[in-house]
């Protein structure tokens, strides 16, 4: 484990601002996560889990404990029955790369989530969603490290407490778990989701776009709204939306 001291967090966030981490470590494996957790616990230091820094505003005063950067990598295709394809993704993988892999392999379920910044491990935390899809509907399992009990644990989707931009990871169990791996259950050969008018308008009437074409259309729409990270583009120095849509009963 390579610990760094007084490491500036600004470059690790999409805002590009904020003070330093008193201690900083990059975890490339579950063993690294366990070791870092033990190190912080022995010193009674708070631990903060950092993914892609795209939903985060770091205080100018920085963070007084250990910041653990989730950098576990790897995407594996698991065997599963029928047309289902399970992509087993390590938490540090870039989310848009996961979408690219899924659409390139003609697997439906995440094409409208193209262009959302951050890591795969960040997706179950607030149940990311956009343009008619959300990850809760494709997540099969979430593997995590329990910082309280010091052990790995797996949750089925029904145990994650998913709701609109919420899960157990950002509500009742906020700060307790480090997500290390997510299984996404996708459907090979299924038609893309074309529910949002914005996305429908990108295609001629009657067109039957591929999953990759829909994902590209979503990236184009997001770019027009400053919601796609583009190098050097000042508009995308944000943390995404600062609001939730109102949810009303019928």
CA pair distance 144, 72, nearest whole angstrom: 12
Q: Per-residue x/- mask for ligand FAD, residues 33 to 52, rule CB under 6 A?
A: ----------------xxxx
State how far the alpha carbon of 135 is from the alpha carbons of 48, 112, 197, in Å: 23, 10, 20
CA pair distance 55, 73, nearest whole angstrom: 20
Tell me: does residue 103 bind ligand FAD (CB under 6 A).
no
Considering only residues 206 to 235 of the shown chain, the ones binding ligand FAD according to CB under 6 A are 227, 229
Name the residue nearer to ligand FAD (CB basis): 90 or 212.
90
CA pair distance 38, 57, nearest whole angstrom: 26
Name the residue nearer to ligand FAD (CB basis): 18 or 52.
52
User: Which span (21-29, 124-132, 147-155, 206-214) binds ligand FAD, by CB under 6 A?
Assistant: 124-132
Q: Which of 90, 114, 128, 217 binds ligand FAD (CB under 6 A)?
A: 128
Query: Do the Cβ atoms of 23 and 67 come closer than 8 Å?
Result: yes
Cα dihedral value 27, 31, 34, 37, nearest 10: -30
CB of 243 to ligand FAD, least distance (A): 12
- The backbone region for 196, taken as left when phi is positive above 0, alpha when psi lies in -120 to 50, beta otherwise, is beta
Question: Contact residues for ligand FAD (CB under 6 A)?
Answer: 14, 49-56, 70, 91, 116-119, 121-123, 125-126, 128-130, 169, 177-179, 227, 229, 236, 238-240
């Amino acid at each position: 484990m390579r610990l760094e001291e007084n490491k500036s967090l600004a470059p690790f966030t999409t805002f590009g601002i904020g003070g330093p981490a008193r201690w900083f470590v990059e975890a490339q494996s579950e063993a690294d996560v366990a070791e870092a957790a033990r190190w912080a616990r022995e010193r009674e230091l708070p631990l903060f889990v950092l993914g892609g820094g795209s939903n985060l505003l770091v205080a100018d005063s920085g963070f007084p404990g250990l910041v653990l950067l989730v950098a576990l990598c790897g995407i594996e295709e698991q065997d599963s029955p029928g047309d289902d394809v399970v992509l087993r993704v390590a938490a540090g993988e870039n989310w848009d790369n996961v979408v690219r892999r899924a659409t390139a392999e003609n697997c439906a379920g995440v094409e409208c989530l193209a262009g959302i910044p951050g890591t795969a491990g960040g997706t179950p935390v607030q149940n990311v969603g956009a343009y008619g899809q959300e990850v809760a509907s494709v997540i099969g399992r979430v593997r995590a490290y329990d910082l309280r009990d010091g052990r790995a644990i797996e949750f089925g989707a029904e145990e994650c407490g998913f709701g609109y931009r919420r899960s157990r990871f950002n509500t009742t169990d906020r700060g307790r778990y480090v997500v290390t791996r997510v299984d996404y259950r996708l459907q090979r050969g299924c038609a893309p989701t074309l529910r949002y008018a914005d996305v429908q308008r990108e295609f001629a009437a009657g067109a039957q776009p591929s999953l990759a074409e829909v994902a590209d259309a979503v990236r184009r729409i997001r770019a027009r709204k400053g919601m796609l990270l583009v190098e050097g583009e000042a508009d995308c120095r944000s943390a995404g939306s600062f609001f939730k849509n109102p949810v009303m009963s019928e």
